[in-house]
Structure 1
Amino acid sequence: MIYQIHNSPDQYTLPLALHLFGLNHRQEPIRRPHGMLCYQWFYCVNGRGEFIVNNQRSIISEGQGLLIYPRVSHIYQALTPDWTVHFFGFGGPLCQEVLTVLQMHETGVYHFSRPEVFIDHIRRLHELHQKKCSGKTREYSKECYAFLLDLSSCITRINPSSYVDADDLITAVIFYMEQHYGRDISLDELAGVVGLSKEYLCTLFKKTMKQTVMQYLLTIRISQARTLLIRFPEKKVQEIAKLCGFESPSYFGKKFKQETGMTPDAFRKKLG
C-alpha cells in the first residue's frame, strides 16, 4: 500500500518533510532515467530484488535496503515474485546536510543490523496517517527526522555485487532501438532503459561502438527503410519515412542519400 502525503503550506518552512510512504508494497519494476524529486529509503521485507545505478548492480534481500538520492538515474525490479518492501520518501531544505551528518552520503544499498527500526517507524507513520487531527505536517517532519536518526545507528553500506557488463548494456540499448525505431526516441529514454545517466550512456556507447547513439539509430532506420522500399513498392516514400521514424520526408531523403549514395526513389528503381 502506498500513501501520498498532502502537506500543509508550512511544510516549506520545515527542515524535513515527508512526501510519501509505502507499507508491505509488492514492488513493481521501476525505471527512472531522471530519478525522483525526493529522497527515498527502502527496506526489503520479503523476497529479493536488484538495484542498478551507474553501471553497478546490487542484490537486495530481506534485512537490506537502499537509499536513493534525488535526480539519480536508476532501475530496481524484483528477482522473485514475492519481493515486498517498506519505503518512505522525503525532502526539505536541510535533507542533504542531515544525511551527510548521519553518514548517509550517497545512493546505495545498506544492511540493517536492527531491521525492527525501519519496521517500527513505518508503522508509526501509518498510525499517524490514520489519525484525524490537525498539525500532521509537523508531526510527519518530527517522525521523519527520528526515522533517519535511528536508522543511522544500524546501517552499513554494502558494495555493489557486480558491475553490469558494458556489452550487455549496449546490447540492451541496441535491441530497444531495433524494437522502437519507428517512433521518436530520446537519449533520456534510452538511458532510462539501462539505468544510466544520459551522459554516461553516450560516452560508453561511443567507446564501445565507435559512433554515437543517434548515429547508430539513424543506421537502423535507414537499413529498415531500404528493406521496406523494396518490400512495399506500393507505399509512397513519405509513408516509408514515417514508418522508420522520420517525420520529415525531405530529411529522410537527405539522410538516405548520404548513407546509400542515391535517393529513395532511385534506390527503389534500381533494386525493385
Structure 2
Amino acid sequence: MLYNLHYSNKYNFLPLLPKLLGVNHLQEPVQRPHGFPVFQWFYCVKGQGEFIINGQRSIISKGQGLLIYPHISHSYKGLTSDWTVHLIGFGGNACTEILQTLHMLESGVYHFSNSDIFPTHIENLLYLSQRNITEKETELSKACYSMLLDLSPCIRQIHNTTATYENELVRKLIDYMEEKYACDISLNELADYVNLSKEYMCNLFKHTMHQTIMQYLQTVRISRARIFLIQYPEKHVAEIAHMCGFESPSYFGKVFKKIAGCTPDNFRR
C-alpha cells in the first residue's frame, strides 16, 4: 500500500520530510528516464526484483535494500510475481548533506545486517502520519532522521552489477506511454511514433520488457490511479478512471483488482 504525504510550504525549512510511504507494497514495474524528484529507500520484504541505473543491472532479494538519489534515470521491476517492498520517499533542505554524512553516498543496492530496522521505522512513520497531532510535520522529520541514523551502521553497498543494454526504441515507447497514459493509445499509433511495423514493435517490446505493450500501459495507468485515489479523495472512482485513460469504470475496476489485488474503493480506504 502506498501513502502520499502532503504539507504546506511553511514546512520547507525542515531538513528531512517524508513525502511517500509504502508498506508491504506489491511493486509494479517502473521506468523513469528522468528520475524521481525525491530520495527513495526501498527494503525487499519478499520475492526478487531488478534495478537498472547507468546501464548497470542489479538483483534485489529479501533482506536487501535500494537507495535512489533524485533526478537520476533508473528502472526497476519484479523478477518474481510476489516482489514486495517497504519504501520511503523523502525530501528536505539538508537531505544530501545528511545522507553523505551517514555514508549513504550513492544510488545502488545495499545489504542490511539487521532485518528489523527498516520495517519498524516505516510502521512508526505511517502511524505518525495518520495521527491527528500538533506539529506532525516536525515529528515526521525527526522520525525520518532517526530512521536514517539507525540504518547507517547496518547497511553495506553491494556492487554485483552487470552491464545491460536498454533498447532506445523501447525507451521511446515507454516515455510516450508514461506521458500520454490518459489518452486512448493504440498499437498503430505507437508503431507510427517509432516508425516500425506493429508486429516488429510488439515483439521487440515483449522481448525486452517480458510483457506486452498493453500490459505495460495498464500497469502505468493503475500506478497513476493508486496515487490519484489517495491524492484526490473528493473525486469519484469513475473520475479517477477517466483521468487514467479508462473510458469504462467497470473495466477500470476489473483491471485495478487484477493488478493491485483489491478494488479501487478498498484501496482508497
Give the TM-score band, short-chain normalised: 0.5 to 0.7
* Cα distance change, pair 119–163 in 1 and its aligned pair in 2 (3 A): same
C-alpha distance in 2 between matches for 1:92 and 1:68 = 15
For residue 123 of structure 1, report the CA deviation from its aligned partner: 0.9
Q: Which residue of 2 aligns with 1:234?
A: none
Q: Which residue of 1 aligns with 2:77?
A: 77
C-alpha distance in 1 between matches for 2:30 and 2:155 = 24
Does residue 158 (structure 1) correspond to residue 158 (structure 2)? The answer is yes
Q: CA RMSD in A?
A: 2.6
C-alpha distance in 2 between matches for 1:174 and 1:8 = 36
Q: Which residue of 1 aligns with 2:62?
A: 62
Q: Secondary structure at the match of 2:192?
A: coil
Deviation track 1:219-252 (CA, whole Å, cap 9, x = no partner) reads: xxxxxxxxxxxxxxxxxxxxxxxxxxxxxxxxxx
**Which residue type is aligned with residue 23 of structure 2?**
L
Q: Which residue of 1 aligns with 2:192?
A: 182
For residue 132 of structure 1, report the CA deviation from its aligned partner: 1.5
Q: Which residue of 2 aligns with 1:227?
A: none
C-alpha distance in 2 between matches for 1:8 and 1:135 = 12
Question: Where do 4+ consecutive residues of structure 1 move more than 2 Å?
Answer: 168-181
Q: Secondary structure at the match of 2:193?
A: coil
Deviation track 1:138-185 (CA, whole Å, cap 9, x = no partner) reads: 011001111111110100000133111x4x646856998998341379
**Which residue type is aligned with residue 14 of structure 1?**
L
Q: Which residue of 2 aligns with 1:23?
A: 23
Give the structure with higher Rg (CA): 1
* Cα distance change, pair 174–102 in 1 and its aligned pair in 2 (3 A): closer
Deviation track 1:68-124 (CA, whole Å, cap 9, x = no partner) reads: 000001110000011000000101111110011011111100000001010110010
C-alpha distance in 2 between matches for 1:173 and 1:45 = 29
Whether the 8 Å contact between 2:19 and 2:90 is mirrored in structure 1 is yes
Aligned identity (percent) is: 48
Q: Which residue of 2 aligns with 1:97?
A: 97
Does residue 135 (structure 1) correspond to residue 145 (structure 2)? The answer is no
**Number of matched pairs:** 186
Does residue 32 (structure 1) correspond to residue 32 (structure 2)? The answer is yes
Q: Which runs of 5+ in 2 are unaligned?
A: 177-186, 196-204, 210-269
Q: Give the TM-score of the pair, scaled to structure 2.
A: 0.64
Whether the 8 Å contact between 1:43 and 1:118 is mirrored in structure 2 is yes
For residue 136 of structure 1, report the CA deviation from its aligned partner: 0.7
Whether the 8 Å contact between 2:169 and 2:194 is mirrored in structure 1 is no
Q: Secondary structure at the match of 2:105?
A: coil
C-alpha distance in 2 between matches for 1:116 and 1:103 = 20
**Which residue type is aligned with residue 39 of structure 2?**
Y
Q: Which residue of 2 aligns with 1:147?
A: 147
Q: Which residue of 2 aligns with 1:221?
A: none
